[in-house]
Amino acid sequence: MKPKIREVIVVEGRYDKNALSQVVDATIVETGGFGVFNDREKLAFFRRLAAKRGLILLTDSDGAGFVIRNFLKGAIPKEQLKQAYIPDIPGKERRKRKSGKEGKLGVEGMTPQVLLETLRRAGATFEGESSVVHSAAITKAELLEKKLIGPDSAQKRAALLEKLNLPQHMTPNAMLEAMNLLLTREEFDAL
């Protein structure tokens, strides 16, 4: 039996939706790619869903996925939106003749285990499971202390993103948000 998720999951397209619907029992809606930028009705629909049940945003880890993600992050209240990040995995989806511009698998190319782990790491509410209590939040000042942001930090940040199996396109703010979901205080201090 597929695990049931309370939040509505937003993906880029129908192949992503199909792959995810085979893994979880959830309401899954599509942005229609860049079409969401000019579709006021769809954006209003996403806002209503976010207010009622919360949204989990799950886009590809390529540049286009991050453009869509950042647009929706600016359009939906932060407290109603959870960010789910798939790892950067080189390859191409089976249905495609060649890989995408950046040569990375998208949501549709992820294994069921990776998709489930991605949703868990984002803080999805799985029915019948208790929610995880997070420790004290990691701050930007702490990232600066560890030289993960600021001058000459790009290489160290890229190495950490790879170690945490997160996309290289993440901004420092997105990385901080993900680290607060993924790491305990002890794990962060040990970095």
Cβ neighbours around 139 below 10 Å, total: 11
In a domain, 135, yes or no: no
Question: What does the block give as tokens for 13?
Answer: 């397209």
Name the strands in the sheet holding 81-85, side by side, starting at the edge strand that comes first in the sequence. 28-30, 8-11, 55-59, 81-85
Question: What does the block give as tokens for 26?
Answer: 């959830």
Task: Let me know whether 88 and 31 are in one domain.
Answer: yes
On whether the CB atoms of residues 181 and 148 are closer than 8 A, the answer is no
The per-residue pLDDT for range 131-178, each reduced to its tens digit, is 555 557 899 999 999 999 999 999 999 999 989 888 888 888 889 988
Task: Let me know whether 144 and 88 are in one domain.
Answer: no
CATH number reported for the structural domain that contains residue 21 in this entry: 3.40.1360.10
- The residue range of the domain holding 26 is 8-122
Amino acid at 21: S
In a domain, 73, yes or no: yes
Can you tell me whether residue 39 is helix, strand or coil? coil
Walk along the chain (191 residues) and give the pLDDT tens digit of each residue.
Answer: 899 999 999 999 999 999 999 999 999 999 999 999 999 999 999 999 999 999 999 999 999 999 999 999 999 999 999 999 999 888 888 888 877 788 899 999 999 999 999 999 899 999 987 755 555 789 999 999 999 999 999 999 999 998 988 888 888 888 998 888 778 888 888 88
d(CA 183, CA 66): 22
